[in-house]
Amino acid sequence: MDAIVKNFPGAGTQNGTAGVRPTQAEAEDAVRVLLRWAGDNPNREGLLDTPKRVAKSYRELFSGYDLDATDVLGTTFEEVGGYDDIILVRDIPFHSHCEHHMVPIVGKAHVAYLPAGRVLGLSKIARVVEIYGRRLQTQETMTAQIATAIETTLKPRGVAVLIDAEHMCMSMRGVRKQGSTTLTTSFTGTFKTEPAQQARFMTMVYSR
């Protein structure tokens, strides 16, 4: 799956077109409307500060819109002592939100690449997962975005991404199947053209 890696128009600004960001007061008013729609009274004591808390929480939960993965991936290193095999960071925990129902997606990402002379700081990979996780997402899109960002910026011989996540839109509502998880993968370069490298990646991910 191909993905466009970019920020949305107006994200993080007070201007722009369709993507213009509402004010804090407008966001709080919207929360009060939802509280009334849910059947509660936003003026009761326990809910008086809820709109402010929710707006603040959303700023943090969706902070990925204000960040660009290419900026995070801009610093690389050449002194690798001749190392040219798989580099894998596995079990990267993340929390995201389903773009269809705005309920949580909770899971782990496993990200690997085959270097072509330069390598990333390991924390940069986790940071990229964080950036795309802190947006409204589908798991398929997020998987492709992570792979595309690393592929485009680092230009390695290949990138492999596997995400294993539970979607609260399945657990809390709808079919209500608690504990079921979804697996998605994205492969580029050597990982896409050589099944043996895909198999090595999967073995490294699940070998404990």
Binding residues for Zn(2+): 98, 101, 169
Paired tokens of 165: 């996540």
The number of beta carbons lying within 10 Å of the beta carbon of residue 161 is 29
Which residues does 160 contact at the CB level (< 8 Å), separation at least 6?
110, 111, 112, 113, 147, 185, 186, 187, 188, 191, 197, 198, 201
Q: Is 60 a catalytic residue?
A: no
Q: Is 167 a catalytic residue?
A: yes
Q: Is 79 a catalytic residue?
A: no
CA-derived radius of gyration, the chain:
20
Residue whose C-alpha is closest to residue 40's, from 50, 25, 26: 50
Q: Is 140 a catalytic residue?
A: no
Q: What type of residue sits at position 82? A: G
Q: What is the DSSP letter of 21?
A: P
Q: Which of 110, 151, 167, 197 is catalytic?
A: 167
Residue positions in the annotated binding site?
98, 101, 169
Q: Which of 28, 97, 137, 139 is catalytic?
A: 139
CA–CA gap between residue 58 and residue 2 (Å, rounded): 28
Q: Is 139 a catalytic residue?
A: yes
Please, are residues 32 and 51 in contact by the beta-carbon 8 Å criterion? yes
Q: Which of 140, 166, 169, 198 is catalytic?
A: 169
Which residues does 177 contact at the CB level (< 8 Å), separation at least 6?
170, 171
Which residues are identified as catalytic?
Answer: 98-101, 139, 167, 169
